[in-house]
Amino acid sequence: MTMKNELAEAVVLERSFNAPAARVWKALTDADEMRIWYFDLKEFKPEVGFEFEFTVEHEGMTYHHLCKVTEVIPQKKLAYTWRYQGHEGDSLVTFELFADGDKTRLRLTHEGLETFPKLPAFARKRFMEGWTQIIGSSLKNFLETAPPGDGERTNK
């Protein structure tokens, strides 16, 4: 696979959770819950046009994320742009929920990675590793071990 093809390929992850869709949706859209398993967001609203931001420090670098909600279908789909202050590029993160009784399958798609700088920090592999940790570990642990509505519990 060439570097260009790898960069152009979206990151797509699917995970199933032992939690109903309404519970997963709350974890994806409630700022208090998001701060536990996702990033330290000051505010978040599942409303088209809502803009939010957060900062991540990784390997001595600070990345200021700028995001804007583009699509909301309650308990089914949430999408937002994802870019970095001071860097070229604009991508789209989409969470899709598929209810299956008391379980929920989540499909995360992060596309547009090829628009980011051609640097190791923005390599597709880094996004795959990051989302695998966030969705496959942090969110899963939060959903399957935290009592519903317990936004005060810390996850680690």
Is 47 contained in some domain?
A: yes
Is 15 contained in some domain?
A: yes
Q: State which residues form the domain around 103.
A: 8-145
Cα separations (Å) of 36 from 32, 33, 51, 100, 114? 7, 5, 20, 25, 30
Residues 6+ apart with CB under 8 A from 62: 55, 56
pTM of the model: 0.88
User: What pLDDT, on the 0 to 100 scale, is given for residue 155?
Assistant: 40
User: What pLDDT, on the 0 to 100 scale, is given for residue 58?
Assistant: 82
pLDDT digits (tens, 9 = 90+) for 17-38: 999 999 999 999 999 999 999 9
Is 98 contained in some domain?
A: yes
Is 3 contained in some domain?
A: no
Q: Find the radius of gyration of the CA atoms of the chain.
A: 15
Is 2 contained in some domain?
A: no
Is 135 contained in some domain?
A: yes
Residue 149 has pLDDT above 70, yes or no: no
Is 20 contained in some domain?
A: yes
Look up residue 51 and give its amino acid: E
pLDDT bin (cut points 50, 70, 90) of residue 3 is very low
CATH number at residue 59: 3.30.530.20
Residue 45 has pLDDT above 60, yes or no: yes
Is the distance from CB of 17 to CB of 143 less than 8 angstroms? yes
pLDDT digits (tens, 9 = 90+) for 74-132: 999 999 999 999 999 999 999 999 999 899 999 999 999 999 999 988 999 999 999 99
**In angstroms, rounded to a whole number, what is the distance separating the alpha carbons of residues 21 and 40?**
23
Residue among 21, 12, 14 at smallest CA distance from 104: 21
- Domain tally for the chain? 1
